[in-house]
Structure 1
């Protein structure tokens, strides 16, 4: 057996609050990897409601890797939330028209942080808020109700408001090796064969399995 199909919405029979969201997201600027799930008893299929201010004319993307675990209430603020901050007022007069459009910001006036990218095998806890342009590395963990305003390194536990590194899960050289091994990119047959190693902590054995 090679685990559940990555192409079904609800991989746990009788438990619809867990959803493989690759199969429900329709926005082309939201890219989700295989086996990444969202856990929410209030419509787990509608993960897109948690991606806020994501306007197509801005063009920024939310990219989430494979085998990520997203807890209920995880939200992503995208670049469309930004207001011009270089002037005296930050109020968006222009969006209301009726003559106010004359102060429409020019290209480059609005802060733009780029794509928001979550790596592979990332666990994001309950009610977290991820700000625009943040990069969360492979194997990272973000604790519940954190507000992530800056990048989280691979295999790092981060938390708080604003979120700060709390603990490295592995020494830097081991974290780098795990990223190079990239077990999440193995064929699913190989992942299934070596599950006991992947969920253990012996990197040397994992290295051997990687071949």
Structure 2
């Protein structure tokens, strides 16, 4: 056996409140990598409900990488929540029509682009992720954090607004992990090295894996 079936919506037998998220998402504005799981206290159908202000006209996407861990109550705010904060009024007149429908002629609501969650990212209970944020590979977002800006790879962040608590590892180890990109390995290779993946990283071990397998292709969630 080489790990759980990534195409199985509910990988834990008899338990339907944890899912491999890719297999239950329906919105074309949400992209999820294999093995990323979502755990919900009620129903996994809540995930899409927690991707707020998701409107097709904004054209933005929530992109989540592989092997991520997303706790119950995590919320993502998309660009549909934005208003004209630098105009005389932030009120969305055009939405209501009746003579106001042309209020946005020649203008656009502000957008911060896609929200991107890297690979192997753990997002804790009731964290809130704002539009256009990128959370780097291997990062941990503490429960209740409000993430308003990009998070560097392998960082631990928390608070409101979320701030860097500490890097998870030394810079040289982070560089090796970023080069290794184990999340792109085939399942068979992950199975062979699963104990090493649950050990604290060492420069010697990571260098040996890189020498054996080389660098992964360009990293895209």
TM normalised by structure 2 equals: 0.91
SS across alignment from 1:158: strand
Compute the displacement of 1:173 (Å): 2.0
Seen in structure 2, the aligned counterparts of structure 1 residues 110 and 193 have a Cα distance that, compared at 3 Å, is same
**More off after superposition, 139-148 vs 89-98:** 89-98
Give deviations 1:180-210, integer Å, cap 9, x for gaps. Answer: 1000001011001101001111332233234
Aligned partner of 1:61 in structure 2 is 61
Aligned partner of 1:23 in structure 2 is 23
Aligned partner of 2:113 in structure 1 is 114
For structure 2, the residue ranges without an aligned partner over 5 or more in a row are 213-221
Query: Separation in 1 of the partners of 2:207 and 2:64?
Result: 25
For structure 1, the residue ranges without an aligned partner over 5 or more in a row are none
SS across alignment from 1:57: helix
TM normalised by structure 1 equals: 0.95
Aligned partner of 1:127 in structure 2 is 126
* 1:14 pairs with 2:14: yes
RMSD: 1.2
Query: Structure 1 stretches (4+) deviating beyond 3 angstroms?
Result: none
SS across alignment from 1:103: coil
Query: Separation in 2 of the partners of 1:111 and 1:72?
Result: 29
Query: Separation in 2 of the partners of 1:99 and 1:134?
Result: 35
SS across alignment from 2:102: helix
SS across alignment from 1:38: strand
Aligned partner of 1:136 in structure 2 is 135
Seen in structure 2, the aligned counterparts of structure 1 residues 102 and 47 have a Cα distance that, compared at 3 Å, is same
SS across alignment from 2:209: helix
Alignment of 1:140-159 (within 5 A): 140-159=139-158
